[in-house]
Chains A and B, each alone.
Chain A
Amino acid sequence: MSEKQVVRRGESAEELQTLLPRVDVFENKDGILLLADMPGVPKDKLELRVENDTLLIEGEIAPDTPENMEAVYAEVHLSRYRRAFSLSSELDTSRIDAQLRDGVLNLRIPKQAHAQPRKIEVKVA
């Protein structure tokens, strides 16, 4: 039992060693728009995964530093971004559109076609 706890703690400590990208999340009738600030992450170092209705965003900052550089002052200490979101079932995870431009990740998650609002006609019997 106690051993299990130790393992879990180790895992969470590892997870905390990441930067949390700041996000904006908007929703309209077509779906969700998620914007995440991930400066320094090139396209090939960005990883997006959907597992069991959880969307995981991860990215690694590509070092662009001269070899003999010494850090003098740093506000960004870590080089990995990570953030997870739980998605609801009306979202269509197979049609997520992702773009990364100038360090901003732009994710569009559409709603399932049948989940989009429909006007229901009332029939007069």
Chain B
Amino acid sequence: MYESLFNFPGGLLAEFERLQQELQQEFANLGRPGSIRALASGAFPTINVGSTPGTIEVYAFAPGLDPATLDIQIDHGLLSISGERSSAEPQDNGSLSVYANERFSGRFKRTVNLSKDADPDKVEAHYRNGVLHIKVARQESAQPKRITIQ
């Protein structure tokens, strides 16, 4: 009975190592400008944002979802991604033990502030290997242009 207290996958030491590693990943964010809409540790999905001269690239690390159930909206320069991930727990027929339950389950919504020149009419979204990649084009007028001297 008491043994189960220490029944972490990989043993108790591995569990401390995991905690240490999670903390380290958390502190890796210190000193970098964070988004006001960033969530605390364990946020789902985690998001990376990149920028090219012509587009804004948003990557949401959202594994194990049916892309048809994802809701992606752009409203007033805010891109929101929402959906639901169901629990993977198999049906308990009396003999099920749960040793780790770290994966997110339930409803989620995350919002990204797009820059002012984002064009809400030119958005493409792809879901591949559990990563949702949203490409938002910048408005043409906002893109740098070379001016020829006459």
> Which residues of chain A have a CB within 8 Å of any CB of chain B?
16, 19-20, 22-29, 33-35, 37-42, 62, 64-66, 68-78, 84-86, 101-104
Contact = CB atoms under 8 A, between A and B. Distances in A.
Interface in B39-55: 43, 45-53, 55
A28 B90 contact: yes
A26 B89 contact: yes
Contacts, number: 141
Interface of B: 9-11, 14, 18, 21-22, 24-25, 28-29, 32-35, 38, 43, 45-53, 55-57, 59, 61-65, 88-90, 93, 95-104, 127-131, 133
Contacts of A37: 63-64, 103-104, 130
A74 B33 CA distance: 10
A19 B21 CA distance: 8
A73 B58 CA distance: 9
Contacts of B62: 39, 103
A24 B100 contact: yes
A101 B45 CA distance: 17
B52 A77 contact: no
A28 B130 contact: no
Nearest to A32: B99
Nearest to A105: B63
Contact of B130 (A19, A39, A70): A39
Contacts of A39: 45, 61-63, 129-131
A16 B24 contact: yes
A23 B89 contact: no
A102 B45 CA distance: 13
A72 B63 contact: no
Nearest to B91: A28
